[in-house]
Each structure stands twice: as structure tokens, then as C-alpha cells.
Chain A
Amino acid sequence: MALFQLDNIQKTFKHGTTSEQILQSIDLELTKGALTALTGASGSGKSTLLTIAAGLQETTEGTIRFEDKTLTAISAEQVREVRAKHFGFVFQQAHLVPFLTVKEQLELMLDTAELKWSKEKRRSRIKETLESVGMWSHRDSQPENLSGGEKQRVAIARSIIHEPKMLFADEPTASLDSKRSAEVMSLIQGLSKELDITVLMVTHDEDVLQYADRTVEMKDGKII
């Protein structure tokens, strides 16, 4: 059985009296530990699908299953709990919390995931994770003092610090140059293999596809 399963996902946006169907009956299964890349033309519905899968916006039709839970059938509070404990997110922008240092961003995630880790485990995980993204030396920096690439690496560290089962990433390399982009991708790939994290990642970038176990292409709201 797949770890994560989308079944007949449809999404319609209403603009006043007219409405527009952005996703047309999408089925997708993600195998545990695999890195799936989602590509397609701009406007084909990739981000919409990703955020629906991640429980960040509601679907008009269809069901989403994660492990033994049907996310489309449980309450918003229960979905929030799943997000906090089992999902990680990397967005196109880093979206760090502007008033927390690099280390505090990660601590906040651990608190949010309500993990019952010992102080030592927390400390060593934060150190390991920041080292793996090459940001340990910046642990006490404020986000405003980091470059775009550094912020994105902190965002990646933040997305995996609580050892999530699923990682959702929307063009995580879009704001990076090709060298940084390769670094970030091998990082995500490495962490996914090491921690057995299932990744769903939107990308435009041909170079990024080589890191994926599987590539899914979208066109006009459908998987082709």
C-alpha cells in the first residue's frame, strides 16, 4: 500500500458568477521513501495540487489518504495535527519567522510537533540538521542577515527537523543559482534516503529532475 494516496482530486475556483476547474480528477500514489517530482507548464495546477495534498487548502472533490487516515474526512484540527507532526514544507520563498534566530526556527518546529525528545536529543538533532545544510555556523543569525540561498537551506532544515514522514516542496530551488540549486537538491535527496522521508516536489527545472525517483507531468489540471 502507498503511504500517501490522492484519489479523484478536483479543484474548482469560483470568481463571482464564473467558476474555473483547475484540477480535473487527479489520482496519485506516493511510495514510502520515494522522491516524486511534479512538473508541467506554468498554470497547469502543480502548486494547487501540492497544497491540497499537504492539507493547506481544501479540495472540491476527492479523497486524500495518509497512512491509515483519510485527511478529507477528519476535522481541520486533526489535519493540523498531522501537518505539525508528520509533514514538512518547503515553499518557493523560505518564509522564515523574521524574529527568530536560525536555531529558534528549528526549536519552534520541535515544539509544534510536540515531540517528547530529551534536551540532549533536541540539541544534537538541531546541530546535525544545521550541519547537514551547512548552516550550523549561522545558528544564531537573524533571517534578515542571511542570503536567499542560506534562508532556503534553513527552510529545508526546518522542514525536516521533526523527522516528518512526508515532505512537500514547491520549487525549493527557484530562487537559487544552479550551483546552490544542485546543493539543495542533493541535500533533499540525501535526507529523504537517510530518514526515509517521502517527498513530493514541484519543479520547473530540468536539472532537478535527475534527483527524482519518479517524475509526474501535469497539463491543464491533469496528470499526463
Chain B
Amino acid sequence: MKMAWKEMMKYKMRYIILGSIIFLISLLTLSISGLANGLSQDNAALIKNMPEGTFYMEESAEESYNFSSLSDSQINEVKNIDDNATFFSIQMGEFNDSEEQKHSLAYVSASDDQHFPAVEQGEIILDQSFAEEGLAEGDTIGNELTDEDLTVAGFVEQEKFSHSPVGFISSDDYSSMYDTDTFQLAFSTESDAAVDELSAFSNDEFLNTIPSYSAEQLSLNMIIAFLYVISGMLFAIFFYMINVQKLGTFGILKAVGVKTITLFKMMWAQMFIITVISLLLASGISELFNIFAPSGMPFHLTLDMILYSSAAFIAIGFVGATLSGIQIKKVEPMQAINQGGA
């Protein structure tokens, strides 16, 4: 598209302005996407790290996992549909380190080690963030729910629940701490069959039962959706203004026999060039930020996300430019011939 390029070179300033606005908006969109994903990791990495499957909790708990308590017969029923099912519980709690410093965490205990690290009685495996706070393997920690101390047996990468780091403990320790001999939840990768008196959730549905999770994600996704709409409108408005100034030229080009589709292609090529350059810059910068962001900042941007939002921007740019291009279709050669011009 030689004409498209020539025109952009001739009127660099307008296209640089349009390009920088698209760059800023796509950078903002990618940043917020990264933040949304980072927050969702921070909120629920424990669940997000699990494979796709079905979560079961007691119907009477009304979607609050911590009110759920599976009875023996319910556990057996789940085992009937999948004898490999994992049972687990989560409790928000705290512990004191050797210097009597309090730390809050989410205690997680499971019936087996299919999806969670294996842990011996008297031991605890902690999220990596505690290592950054100064805890080390072999340290002993205590808590008010039991007289027994727990020994730190190791650390795992990125295991968070409800914005708290996770500590995995054995089911024996869990039973004595919380005075229970059952689990809150069941998880099966093999079956999604309905079980009496239990409600079943897909991974996404289960994530949304975490109260802060859906609120956070919803508001961030709203912002992202708005940014997409704004960028589409920007494309439409900008190309509208640029096209209005070119209507005379378009009319003459039509008069000498240039196809309308050629004029559209010229505009699409320009939209594409601007968007791709802006997106490359925005992706590059947000990727750098992804790498160098402080570790405490929940920012997590994947290549997939960059590709998806780039595709969305290009699609939206296309729609915006095309809508504004309706005037190109309408312009009559006669209008242009009767006007002055170059």
C-alpha cells in the first residue's frame, strides 16, 4: 500500500498524534490487564494452579466454602463417582515465628498430595513470600490453636488464597487445630456428576465464590472494556477527521476511476500500521514492566494476554476506521470537481 504510506509520510504529525494516543491507551489497557491478572494470582493462585475439574461443597454452605463440612456419607458419595477425588480444607489463620512475630496465612490441608505438596505431621510448607520475610527451612512456628509447634519443611512458589500466602499442613495437624475430622471441599478432575446435597463448581465458578475475587475482577474488567470502547471511538473520530480533510482528494480519485475499495484499503493499511507500531511499543514497555516490577506488586502479564489484547485492538481499530470510512463511500466525484484544490 504505497499510497497509504506516502500519505502518512506527508502528514506525519497527525498520524504521530493518533499513534501516540493509541499507544497510551493500549499501554494502559495492558497495564490494567496485567494488574487484574496479577491480583487474581495474588488472590487465588492456590485455585488457579489446580487443573480444570469440579469443586464440591455442601449445598447448605450457600457458596461459602468455610461453612461447608462434608459428612462421611458425602465423602463416600464423591468417592463413588471418582475414587481419586481429593478432599481439602482452607482456613484463614495466623502463626507466630520464633521471634513471636505474628504472620497471617491461609492454612490448607488435603487428603492426598495429587494437587498440593505432601506434608508430614508436625511440618508446614509455606509460600515463598515467607522466605522473603526471613523464615527459613527448619524454623519452628507456633499458633494459639495448638500446643504443638510446626517445623518449616520447605517453600513453594506462588501459592496464595484470598490475598494471603498459603501454608500447607497435614490433615492430622489440621484436625487438632480446628477440632474437626472432615474436609470442607472435594475436588475431582474426572467427574462433574451431581452429588446429593452438594453443589458443584467449575474452577471459574469456584473462584467467583471467593468474595473479593469477583469484585476485583469485575471492576478491572469494566475498566478494560471501557478502554477498548474508547480506543475504538478514537479510531473512528480520528479517521473521520482525517478523512474529512481528504474528501476532495477521494472524490478526484473516484472520478479518475480509483475503486472505493482501494481507498478503504488505504485507510485500513494506515490503521494497521499505526496500531501495530503502537502495540509493539506498548507490549514492549509493559513486558519490561512485567520483568522489572517490584515483587510485592501484583502484576502478571502473559504473552497470551498481550496477543489477545493486540488482536482486540486491531479488530476494534478496523471497525472504528471502517465506520468513519462510510463518508468515503458516499463522496461523489462531482463534489470534488466543483471545489478548489491542489
Contact = CB atoms under 8 A, between A and B. Distances in A.
Chain B associates with chain A = yes
Interface of A: 51, 56-57, 80-81, 83-85, 87, 89, 91, 93-100, 104, 108-109, 112-113, 142-144, 151, 158, 170
Contacts of B249: 97-98
A89 B256 contact: yes
Contact of A143 (B256, B257, B342): B342
12 contacts: A51-B334, A83-B257, A84-B257, A84-B258, A89-B256, A93-B340, A96-B342, A99-B3, A99-B10, A109-B256, A112-B257, A144-B342
Contact of A97 (B253, B262, B337): B253
B11 interface: yes
A57 B333 CA distance: 8
A56 B255 contact: yes
A143 B2 CA distance: 17
B115 interface: no
B3 A98 contact: no
B6 A100 contact: yes
Contacts of A84: 256-258
A140 to B, nearest CB: 12
Interface residues of B, number: 26
Contact of B255 (A89, A99, A104, A143): A89
Contact of A80 (B11, B259, B332, B342): B259
A57 B342 contact: no
B258 A112 contact: yes
A84 B259 CA distance: 9
Nearest to A85: B257
Interface in B9-23: 9-11
A144 B254 CA distance: 21
Interface string B242-260: 0000001100111111110
Nearest to A51: B334
A19 B248 CA distance: 27
A57 B332 CA distance: 9
Contacts of A158: 256
Most B-side CB within 10 Å, residue of A80, A94, A142? A80
A91 B253 CA distance: 13
Contacts of A91: 252, 337
